[in-house]
Chains A and B, each alone.
Chain A
Amino acid sequence: MSKSHMLALFTDFDEASASIRELKVSNIQGFNLKDVTLKSPIEHPEIEELLGDRPVYVQFFTLFGALFGGIGGFAFISSCQATFLLQPKGGKPVIPIPPDMVLTYELFILFGVYITVLGFFIGAKLPMKRHKLYNARVSEDQIGILIKAEDTAMPAIKDLFTRHKVLEIIGEGGK
């Protein structure tokens, strides 16, 4: 069966979340909750929760970046200082730990931030081309539910949205 997309626009956030809640238990053939994408002008963690477990991996990038920056930074600085091994240091340590901690700390943060942002771009799939059903009203004051489902499931989903006071339904072929 062929699958197509449909975007439903709501002005009432409670109705949008109610419709997702109903979709979740509706058991419509040819539809899977994983194929629902919520589009909204602001963050909606409470509605996102309804969509099930959609993990974010940014924190692992952060951990890697911070460790890489800290360990790599210290290794870099100390290896640079180690070029003085053959030179007299007057009894002072070749690799002085306390002052090196300052730069290690800065590099820990520097790479932590950079690689966190890299993780964000990968996780959020940015940069990306806008979906053909993207509607500018979603960036203003409406909440959009983008559904990908088999064509046979679309009428039932439309009915469900209509019951929840959908403002407009846009299919791939137009309204």
Chain B
Amino acid sequence: MINTFEEREVEIERRFVRKEKDIREDIKWAQINSDVLKSLERPRALFWVIFIASLALFMVGVSCEIYQYEIGMGPANLDNPHVWGLYIATFIFWIGMSHSGTLLSAILHLMHADWRKPIYRFAEAMTTFSLMTAGLFVMVHLGRVWQFYYVVAYPNERWAWPNFQSPLVWDATAIFTYLTSSMIFLYIGMIPDLAICRDNATGFRKKFYTFLSLGWMGTDRQWANFRVTYLTVACFLIPLAVSVHSIVATDFAVSQQPGWHITSFPPYFVAGALYSGCAAIITLFIVLRDVFRFEEYMTMPILEKTAKLTFAIAMVWTYLNLVEYSSTWYGDDMYAKQALIYRATGDFAPEWWMMNFLGSVLPFSMAFKRVRNNIPAMLVISILLNVGMWLERWMIVSPTFANGIYPWTWDHDQWPSWVQWGIVLGSFGWFNMLFMLFCKIFPSVSMYEVKEMVYHRSLHNKANSAPALDQELAVEGGTAS
């Protein structure tokens, strides 16, 4: 028999509220502010360990780039036919990594999947820094870095413009559009939180956040305009993100090189991009959760949902991979078939098989709840998935150059030099360094959206569970007071 209001609340909780919640609904809003603002003040020592290690890695990359700049492209061991090497493979990797942040944030926003709210901010930041890292490789692989402005579209002295039919021009335009739009999406979504930072900061920080928050006061007029703007930009970003990696795929697919001239390359690239991005979200989720003590917000159910999403995307990627292999195997392009056989049995066979194992077999471990709920296991798996996805990009680029259409262009002995490896490692340091700095300066969990999540979920629970309890108690003959 239920007699008091408290007993009724307890009964509602027991019967109708799911045991594993994405977030605690009784968390105080002031505590949300305080927890997130604390991450801007004093992070754990692990933050500085990661930051300094990243800085050291970045300096390795800088040293290699200076050496390459001084000596020329020779030390990088890039020559005909290996003209792209790890630089373009890693460029594609970073472009791919950038996809999940903004794309998933926008898709999940449109689908009203509110579990994205505690994690979308850092995922969007990941997009921005991945694109900035990818852009570096365009410069690095040029060799003549001082002529970087050649990549910008402008007419020559005869007023002849670049070839607008070239996928390289499309690529530069698409990446520029995606980078600036993602930064705008990140910034606009952060304005209400910057106002919270402004209201709680002192000294220089207050001036900094006051400038960035633009005088936001949370008025109805501001919120109404914010809502429409955020939704509109999200709608633009979804097709944009798909187009960016489709265009990167077109760089390869419109060429006649064996193994690249494949119709399914654009969706294959988009799936690969989402896959590596989701895996990176899991890695950064676990790191931030520990470094900034975000256990209340980056909860296990959210990690589990992200793992399930990654698993689903991994299966899409695997399917498209198999489509590529089978259409090449049963197709009539003997050069493409020869390139496929070379990948599986030639000099790059260990890397190729490793890529297939890590990309297609390892994700099956995430089918088990026990694995999805094991943080160290998920950290290792997510890193290995990205190793697999990096290998995928390398296996797209190098084996084709090593074993092209004409046998006299074959070069099976090329292996990336330490300069290439150093610059690739440096890019990881650069990305981590920027990312950790971002998390130290800006709120990496969206405070106002977590509040919305808590507010709407508690309203929803109250609205749904009370009538249902009354109905059940009526059947049982109890009294709902």
B184 touches A102 (CB 8 A): no
Query: Which residue of B28, B160, B221, B455 is within 8 Å of A83 (Cβ)?
Result: B160
Task: Report if B225 contacts A (CB, 8 A).
Answer: yes
A37 touches B233 (CB 8 A): no
User: How many residues in A have their beta carbons less than 8 Å from beta carbons of B?
Assistant: 56
Task: Report if B216 contacts A (CB, 8 A).
Answer: yes
Q: Please indicate the chain A residues that have their CB under 8 angstroms from the CB of B224 in the complex.
A: 45, 48, 54, 56
Annotate A34-67 by CB proximity to B: 1 below 8 A, 0 otherwise: 0001111111110110010010101100100000
B161 touches A102 (CB 8 A): no
Annotate B195-230 by CB proximity to A: 1 below 8 A, 0 otherwise: 110011000000000000011111111111111110
Q: Please indicate the chain B residues that have their CB under 8 angstroms from the CB of A47 in the complex.
A: 220
Mostly helix, strand, loop or mixed at chain A's interface?
A: helix
CA distance A62 to B225 in the complex (A): 12
CA distance A90 to B455 in the complex (A): 66
CA distance A113 to B240 in the complex (A): 11
A109 touches B240 (CB 8 A): yes
Task: Report if A175 contacts B (CB, 8 A).
Answer: no
Q: Please indicate the chain A residues that have their CB under 8 angstroms from the CB of B221 in the complex.
A: 37, 54, 123-125
A103 touches B173 (CB 8 A): yes
Comparing A24-32, A114-122, A153-161, the segment that makes contact with chain B is A114-122
Q: Please indicate the chain B residues that have their CB under 8 angstroms from the CB of A81 in the complex.
A: 161, 164
Task: Report if A169 contacts B (CB, 8 A).
Answer: no
Annotate B437-479 by CB proximity to A: 1 below 8 A, 0 otherwise: 0000000000010011001000000000000000000000000
Q: Please indicate the chain B residues that have their CB under 8 angstroms from the CB of A68 in the complex.
A: none
A136 touches B243 (CB 8 A): no
Task: Report if A130 contacts B (CB, 8 A).
Answer: yes
Q: Please indicate the chain B residues that have their CB under 8 angstroms from the CB of A39 in the complex.
A: 217-220
B233 touches A113 (CB 8 A): yes
User: How many residues in B have their beta carbons less than 8 Å from beta carbons of A?
Assistant: 54
A123 touches B455 (CB 8 A): no
Interface residues of A in 101-150 (CB under 8 A from B): 102-103, 105-107, 109-110, 112-114, 116-117, 119-121, 123-131, 134, 136, 138-141, 146
CA distance A9 to B223 in the complex (A): 18
CA distance A121 to B247 in the complex (A): 32
Interface residues of B in 329-381 (CB under 8 A from A): none
Q: Please indicate the chain A residues that have their CB under 8 angstroms from the CB of B28 in the complex.
A: 141
Most buried by B among A100, A102, A107, A146: A102
Q: A56-B228, A121-B214 are in contact. List 12 more A-B contacts (CB 8 A).
A: A38-B220, A43-B227, A44-B223, A45-B227, A56-B224, A58-B229, A80-B155, A107-B173, A113-B237, A120-B228, A128-B217, A141-B451
**Can you name 10 A-B residue pairings with CB atoms under 8 Å?**
A39-B217, A41-B29, A43-B227, A83-B160, A110-B173, A116-B233, A125-B221, A136-B199, A139-B195, A139-B218
